[in-house]
Amino acid sequence: MYKESTNAVVKHLINRLRDVRTASNEFRLTIEEISRMIVAEALADFPTITTNINTWQGPLDVEMLEVQKIVLVPILRAGEPMLTGILQTLPYARSGFLAMKRDEQTSLSKLFYENIPDNLEDKTVLLLDPMVATGGSLIDGIDYLKDIGAKKIISLNILGSPYGIQKVQEAHPDVDIYIAQIDERLDENNYIRPGLGDAGDRAFNTK
Ligand code: PRP
Ligand code: URA
């Protein structure tokens, strides 16, 4: 299943990302903001646990998300602002890391570093990558997480191509995808059009 956001505020923020006048600081903050909106959609029906808290009128049983069942995994580097944004909503969620780089000639991704919490079997892993172009990085990231025991993975993304989303769904039909927007197409260099350029470079002012 994939769900593209229909929220007009999300669309507005995406178009801020597309604008080349949006410099790296605002670009990262905007990714953070969109990520918080997407995670709210993805976790709308997530299990809650009854927790006793002290309120201004004394103890109260309330329903809280079972945050200890959530592991956030950004695909670095462009996934980093997504993690920062979601940690503002879920500050006690555990985080793991996958550092991957797409070879710009072959468009194949390579894993350079990983550090993921143990015991993924009973967790929900939220895999964070803003861009789904060919889908290769996301497919490889999901393969990796499944190999080390993840049973439930949800993908949170900002922009995708129809081709990339289809490829991820074919490879991993059990992974639900929550994405802010699916653009028109992939271009001949495997960039998303109209897209926003290279998300990592835009976020970190690399070029
Ligand atoms: C970008 C992006 C995705 C990947 C998408 O990362 O953040 O991870 O490309 O392309 P794909 O769907 O064709 O695999 P990149 O590898 O450029 O690394 P970066 O995050 O360091 O910029
Ligand atoms: N990676 C990006 O950052 N942008 C694209 O359009 C494709 C891959």
The CATH number given to whatever domain includes residue 162 is: 3.40.50.2020
The predicted-structure confidence for 7-62, as pLDDT tens digits, reads as follows 999 999 999 999 999 999 999 999 999 999 999 999 999 999 999 999 999 999 99
- Position 56 in a domain: no
- Position 53 in a domain: no
Q: What residue's CA is closest to ligand 2, atom 3?
A: 198
Nearest ligand 1 atom to the CA of 78 is 20
The predicted-structure confidence for 145-197, as pLDDT tens digits, reads as follows 999 999 999 999 999 999 999 999 999 999 999 999 999 999 999 999 999 99
- Position 100 in a domain: yes
Q: Is 35 in the pocket of ligand 1 (CB under 6 A)?
A: no
* Residue 69 exposed, middle or buried by CB count within 10 Å (0-12, 13-18, 19+): middle
- Position 52 in a domain: no
Q: Is 160 in the pocket of ligand 1 (CB under 6 A)?
A: no
- Alpha-carbon distance of 22 to 155, in angstroms, equals 26
Concerning whether 36 is annotated as a catalytic residue, the answer is: no
- Position 55 in a domain: no
- Position 101 in a domain: yes
- Position 54 in a domain: no
- Position 36 in a domain: yes
- Alpha-carbon distance of 177 to 165, in angstroms, equals 8
Q: Dihedral of CA 88/89/94/98: which sign? A: negative
Q: How confident is the model at residue 118 (pLDDT cuts 50, 70, 90)?
A: very high
Concerning whether 106 is annotated as a catalytic residue, the answer is: yes
Domains contained in the chain, number: 1
Classify strands 2-4 and 185-186 as parallel, antiparallel or unpaired. Answer: unpaired
